[in-house]
Amino acid sequence: MDSKTLIESFSDFAKLKNIDRPTMIKILEEVFRSILRKKYVEDGNFDVIINIDKGDLEIWRFREVVDDESEDIWDYDKIPYADAIKIQPDLEVGDELAEEIQIEEDFGRRGILTAKQTLVQKVKDLEKENLFLAYKDKVGDLIIGEVYQIGNREVLLIDGVGNELILPKGEQIPKDRYRKGDSIRAVVHRVEMINGTPKIILSRTSPVFLERLFELEVPEIEDNIIAIRKIVREPGERAKVSVESYDDRIDPVGACVGMKGSRIHNIVRELENENIDVINYTENMELYISRALSPAKITSMKIDENENRVSVFLKPDQVSLAIGKGGQNIKLAGRLIGKEIDVFRDSDGSEEEIDDIALEEFDDEIDAWILDEFKKIGLDTAKSVLSVPIEDLVRRTDLEEETIGEVIGILKQEFDN
- Which has the minimum average pLDDT: 5-9, 154-158, 177-181, 220-224? 5-9
The pLDDT, as a whole number, for residue 348 is 57
pLDDT band at 162 (very low <50, low <70, confident <90, very high): confident
Long-range contacts of 59-64 (CB under 8 A, 24+ apart): 59/32, 59/100, 59/101, 59/103, 60/98, 60/99, 60/100, 60/101, 61/98, 61/99, 61/100, 61/101, 62/96, 62/97, 62/98, 62/99, 63/96, 63/97, 63/99, 64/94, 64/95, 64/96, 64/97
Residues, the chain = 417
Which pLDDT does position 16 carry in this prediction? Answer: 63
Quote the pLDDT of residue 168.
95
Mean pLDDT throughout 76-84?
90
Q: Which residue has the higher pLDDT, 18 or 237?
A: 237
pTM of model > 0.85: no
Confidence of residue 167 (pLDDT cuts 50, 70, 90): very high
pLDDT reported for residue 5: 67
Mean pLDDT of 264-287: 93
Note the pLDDT tens digit of each residue in 7-66.
Answer: 776 676 666 666 777 777 788 888 888 888 888 888 889 998 887 777 677 888 999 999
Q: What is the mean pLDDT of residues 256-269?
A: 91
H or E element, residue 58: strand 56-66
Q: Which tens digit of pLDDT belongs to each residue from 238-258?
A: 999 999 999 989 999 999 999
Assess whether the previous peptide bond of 295 is cis (omega < 30° from 0): yes
pLDDT of residue 351 exceeding 50: no
**Helix, coil or strand: residue 191:** strand
Within 261-346, strands assigned E span 275-280, 298-304, 309-314, 340-345
For residues 24 and 342, give the distance between their C-alpha atoms in angstroms, rounded to a whole number.
64
Please compute the mean of the pLDDT values over residues 254-271 and round it to a whole number. 92
pLDDT digits (tens, 9 = 90+) for 90-131: 999 999 999 888 776 667 677 677 777 777 787 788 888 888
- Tens-place pLDDT, residues 370-405: 888 888 777 778 887 887 778 878 887 888 899 999
Mean residue pLDDT across the chain: 86
Give percent of the chain above pLDDT 90: 41
Given a cut of 50, whether residue 334 has pLDDT beyond it is yes
